[in-house]
Amino acid sequence: MTVHIGAEPGQIAETVLMPGDPLRAEWAANTFLDDPVCVNRVRGMLGFTGTWKGNRVTIHGSGMGMPSLSIYANELIRDYGAKTLIRIGSCGAMQEHVGIRDVIVAMTASSLSTPSRGIFRELNFAPCADYGLLNAAVEAAKGTGATCHVGGIYSSDVFYDERPDLTEMMTRHGILGVEMEAAELYNLAARHGVRALAVLTVSDHLLTQEALPSEDRQSSFGDMVQIALEAAFS
């Protein structure tokens, strides 16, 4: 048991999927896992452990933004022995060829700042995904029928951004989408020697202003959960 996670020793699996929304964690656990058991409710951040094709899996919320994810990822790795952490969440597309409901597998995650900035100081560390997980996710995507894109994403510090110049710069440099957590997850994975990946569903588009209605978002995210699970145990 930690400050933010109430699970007992042994209740967290070595493979953890991390959506931002705790209710999405509950939905994913009930939809994809056999015999899911709630192992955390501290501060309303839900976590569930069950099995998928005989493999133990925990699906645990991370909250919104890198500082929140950093708390949970640190505790999952250091106190519960998590070895594989896959972020599953939504993102905004930043390229014309990326469509609503498409899946992005994040090879790298750029950022202006992360909670790890204080450690890196003057170093511009380049956080990236575990290649084995990334390759397995790309292969898994072929079996879902989802349109999958692989490349760099941008992890933003803010949701209500007022930097159109920065959006233009990211787009110009081929960044596929924007979200708020993956860069710090990749930093922590590198620091602690574990595997990490972000598999994201496009819920809105910064260029076209298209967006999934809120009631459609959850039901449209099944492909990325399936891809994440297949990649973790390939």
Return binding residues for phosphate: 20, 24, 43, 87-90
Distance separating alpha carbons of residues 122 and 203, to the nearest angstrom: 34
Among 164, 149, 125, 160, residue whose Cα is nearest residue 202: 149
Residues making up the annotated binding site for a purine D-ribonucleoside are 4, 179-181, 203-204
Rounded to an integer, what distance in angstroms lies between the CA atom of residue 171 and that of residue 142? 26
Are residues 60 and 14 in contact, defined by beta-carbon separation less than 8 angstroms?
no
d(CA 137, CA 215): 26
Told to judge if 102 belongs to the known catalytic residues of this protein, a careful annotator would answer no
Identify the active-site residue in 21, 79, 204, 216. 204
Structure tokens at 211: 């967006």
Annotated binding site: 4, 20, 24, 43, 87-90, 179-181, 203-204
Token pair listed for 170: 């990211």
Could you give the residue numbers annotated as active site?
204
